[in-house]
Amino acid sequence: MTHNLILRVVSKTLIPAIIIFALYVQFHGDFGPGGGFQAGVILSAALILYALVFGLDAAEQVIPPTLLRSLASLGVLIYAGVGVVTLFLGGNYLDYSVLGSTQIAGQHIGILLVELGVGITVFAVMLLIFFAFADRGRP
């Protein structure tokens, strides 16, 4: 078990850092390179690292696949929901300007919300793909 010790210690140090980096990329997407898709992939990479080092069962206990499916649908519904809200507030679909008091505030809120939806869905789907492939080998 000693050769796993280095992996376990290093990954325990790195996984929180990866998660924080993913959140940074998510919320700075409107000002620098980043956004929902990149953040979702980085966040799922953190959990895949956990699954690789500590085993698939431990990872499935952290996030059960049924919760992942609901998260994937939730993200898409957040995105579509933002558009529907703008419809009801009087603008065209996905017209973020009506979401806030000024046009710039509205655009800011709108982009943050849709990127959040994208990030949640991408994170859930990447993990689902990993779990689907990894579950295939087990009896």
Instruction: Output DSSP code: residue 107.
Output: H
Tokens of 91: 């603008």
Q: Which residues contact 86 (CB under 8 A, 6 or more apart)?
A: 92, 93, 94, 95, 96, 98, 99, 110
Work out how close the CB of 129 gets to another protein at its nearest, in angstroms, rounded to a whole number.
5
What 3-state DSSP class applies to 111?
helix
Closest by CA position to 127, among listed 72, 76, 55: 72
Tokens of 6: 């280095």
Stretch that binds another protein, among 11-19, 43-51, 55-63, 87-95 (CB under 8 A): 87-95
Contacts (CB under 8 A) with another protein, residues 19-38 = 31-32, 35, 37
83 lies in the binding site for another protein (CB under 8 A):
yes
95 lies in the binding site for another protein (CB under 8 A):
yes
User: Rounded CA gap, 40 and 25, in Å?
Assistant: 9
4 lies in the binding site for another protein (CB under 8 A):
no
Work out how close the CB of 46 gets to another protein at its nearest, in angstroms, rounded to a whole number.
18
User: Binder to another protein among 20, 58, 84, 104 (CB under 8 A)?
Assistant: 84
Judged by the rule CB under 8 A, the positions of this chain that interact with another protein are: 31-32, 35, 37, 69-70, 72-74, 76-77, 80-81, 83-84, 87, 91-97, 129, 132-133, 136
